[in-house]
Structure 1
């Protein structure tokens, strides 16, 4: 069998194509299926199967679109209760594709309905572990308390993960290849390796979750210091359970407006330009979530700040960005709530306050400092002792906790998030000066 790994860097998501004898199977495909179609053409292969390891929380899958366009069978656990046409695929089930046999192992822990796909031929065995087994870690168990066909409390799932790690992989060989759905940078786990694959033998040796330990110790470890949960995670689980619409159609329905100097009142505007450009001129009620390149975690912060189904506009620097920004927005299923993508007129009404670093250094007590890092970052130590700590993903809802009697200075850890945070507080406190410390935070940390 031939295995190709596809990487979506901003979401740290891995998907896979497995080719044998002119047939192709896909595992955990991303929102836009065209990359898989292109690869199928290169390999002169027919896509006949899509395996979903579970209903993903951090991105929208294209499994239903692939089924519609290729006729491929979708395989998921019966426990998912999928609303789309599919074939149940659970422990004891198998399917032959070319010379490769695909089997399922029910591996609950990240979700009640998680499965690991075991693919093997005469030469090798590969495990597509979804969000169950990562390289160096396992999936978080706290995402399915309120969403999905099967809800489960985090302690229940943590115990299920313990049982999975103790029992489900025991009969598989050390040289079995491990291919997870995520790597370092994903919010679906907390201590993932930067490696994109491993072997089961290496994981047994180095992954903490395989170590000899009591259930109590395992549960305590896995539940400690998990990352925050963005607003969109539950929404994506539900979308993936139902099946997303054709992404080319939904993106094409988004309106484009050029050289705009005003938009309707009361609708959130997400401005994806560089922070310096944003501060020189932007529309009222804008939030600056930068999407300059793949290193900017635009998708995550869009889904953490803007709620599912909340209408919003997108502001881009240039027409050249429209295709890419729609693609990135659609990854989390937010393209349908877009009122439009716009470019700005030469003169727009709002300007951000200019920050004087020297004045701040000499008069820190004259500023209200807001630390928008995540809780686990703040727990490792404050950068400014008197700072008010409110994580960025909670800032819109908790802005009233910030006093407005002094100028406000917003900081994060490296400068990316503070642009969004300061723009949120600018909107909330129109009569108070709000400054973004930006990358100057590195002079203090």
Structure 2
């Protein structure tokens, strides 16, 4: 059994390719399928199947594109209600791949249609657990908004997760390797470990979900203090149920202009220092300057799925990168234009006089854009007003304007976005504390 784990770090997403006797299956693929094609080519394998463990909320899958380009059959639970061509894969179903047999466990909890894929070859067992079982955690139960009472659905899914964890895995061996769809940093769970895989035996010993034998306590622990839900999550579930357009075609529709001015909602993806030196008035600074920046998450948290927007990049060579990253969450359809900065007078952002702020913090209105769960663990400044970044555009009008405003987060990335949002909407002087927040912790 040859297993390759692929990681997309900004979304903490793991996908998989499994090869046996010249045939390959892909599980939970990301938006760009080229990585799987290259792996198949290198190993002289034909991609015969794609398995979706559930319709993902945090990224767009390429299952339909892989089907169109390779002829691979798409498999998923019939409970998913998929609109694309597929074959059902539920308990009792088997997919043979050379010497490997793939079977399904219906493991609802993160979603009602979640499955765990069991791959067995002789005495070896691998579990592709999707968003059901993570290293050290299980998937959150509060992402589905398919109508009805949200709290009731959350309760039902949390109870279903308890049953999945305590019944569906009990006949599997301790040495079964657990391969989840996400790792630490994903918003699909709240306390995942740093490891990219584990064993079922280790999870039985260490994972709180296996150790909590009271359903009532399990449900309470699972529901309490889940992280925020970005605006784009429900939209991605809907897209994945239909299947996304081929990536090349989708991104080719976006206009690109050299040195063009923009109107409307503008997202500037440059590094914050460059942004502060000069930007188009009203721009929001959501940085994509590094390969590991959580650009997709914050783009989809700040900009809603129905909103049209444009993007500013540093150089033409950045175009392909930014189009692909926008497409990771399916936002290419609402992206109107990508431009480099025009040769016009740009707006500058003033630097905070850190000495004065340090000596006279009460002379400033301090806005904390961290998540509520972070604030509950401890404030950096007692006088700070908590306004999480994901809802800041809706709440910005509540900020007092009688003093200069200082924005902070935990490390500087979110405060760059937050200060630019406030600067866009308010006439007060706005400063970004940035990385210097670490001096106050």
**How large is the RMSD of aligned CA atoms in angstroms?**
1.4
Could you say what secondary structure the match of 2:421 adopts?
Answer: helix
Q: 1:440 aligns with which of 432, 436, 440?
A: 436
For residues 58 and 338 of structure 1, what CA distance do their matches in structure 2 show?
A: 18
Q: Which runs of 4+ in 1 moved over 3 A?
A: 145-148
User: 1:263 maps to which residue?
Assistant: 262
Report whether the alignment pairs 1:159 with 2:155: no
1:355, CA displacement in angstroms?
A: 1.6
Q: Confirm or deny: 8 A CA contact 2:145 2:234 kept in the other structure.
A: no
User: 2:365 maps to which residue?
Assistant: 368
For residues 170 and 350 of structure 2, what CA distance do their matches in structure 1 show?
A: 60
Unaligned 5+ residue runs, structure 1?
none
Unaligned 5+ residue runs, structure 2?
none
Q: Confirm or deny: 8 A CA contact 1:142 1:154 kept in the other structure.
A: yes
For residues 61 and 247 of structure 1, what CA distance do their matches in structure 2 show?
A: 10
For residues 116 and 110 of structure 1, what CA distance do their matches in structure 2 show?
A: 11
1:145, CA displacement in angstroms?
A: 3.2
User: 2:374 maps to which residue?
Assistant: 377
Could you say what secondary structure the match of 1:10 adopts?
Answer: helix
For residues 349 and 32 of structure 2, what CA distance do their matches in structure 1 show?
A: 36
1:79, CA displacement in angstroms?
A: 0.4
User: 1:48 maps to which residue?
Assistant: 48
User: 2:213 maps to which residue?
Assistant: 213
Could you say what secondary structure the match of 2:11 adopts?
Answer: coil
Alpha carbons of structure 1 residues 212 and 338: separation in structure 2 relative to 1, 3 Å = closer
Q: 2:280 aligns with which of 273, 280, 283?
A: 283
- Give CA deviations for 1:128-157 in whole Å, capped at 9, x if unaligned: 000000011100011013479x99711110
Alpha carbons of structure 1 residues 26 and 151: separation in structure 2 relative to 1, 3 Å = farther
- Give CA deviations for 1:260-313 in whole Å, capped at 9, x if unaligned: 2x212xx21110111111011111221001111123110100000000031111
Q: How does 1:175-194 map to 2 (within 5 A)?
A: 175-194=175-194
For residues 146 and 89 of structure 2, what CA distance do their matches in structure 1 show?
A: 24
For residues 345 and 162 of structure 2, what CA distance do their matches in structure 1 show?
A: 56
User: 1:299 maps to which residue?
Assistant: 296
For residues 143 and 177 of structure 2, what CA distance do their matches in structure 1 show?
A: 27
For residues 222 and 212 of structure 1, what CA distance do their matches in structure 2 show?
A: 11
Q: How does 1:118-267 map to 2 (within 5 A)?
A: 118-146=118-146, 153-260=153-260, 262-264=261-263, 267=264
Q: Confirm or deny: 8 A CA contact 1:147 1:237 kept in the other structure.
A: no
- Give CA deviations for 1:5-63 in whole Å, capped at 9, x if unaligned: 00000000000000011100000000011111111100111000000000000000000
- Give CA deviations for 1:350-402 in whole Å, capped at 9, x if unaligned: 12123211111122111111000100110011111111101000000011110
For residues 124 and 337 of structure 2, what CA distance do their matches in structure 1 show?
A: 49
- Give CA deviations for 1:226-276 in whole Å, capped at 9, x if unaligned: 11000000000000001100011111221111112x212xx2111011111
For residues 317 and 152 of structure 1, what CA distance do their matches in structure 2 show?
A: 47
For residues 128 and 330 of structure 1, what CA distance do their matches in structure 2 show?
A: 25
User: 1:96 maps to which residue?
Assistant: 96
Alpha carbons of structure 1 residues 364 and 151: separation in structure 2 relative to 1, 3 Å = closer
Q: Confirm or deny: 8 A CA contact 1:110 1:141 kept in the other structure.
A: yes
User: 1:422 maps to which residue?
Assistant: 419
For residues 408 and 61 of structure 1, what CA distance do their matches in structure 2 show?
A: 40
For residues 35 and 337 of structure 2, what CA distance do their matches in structure 1 show?
A: 26
Report whether the alignment pairs 1:21 with 2:24: no
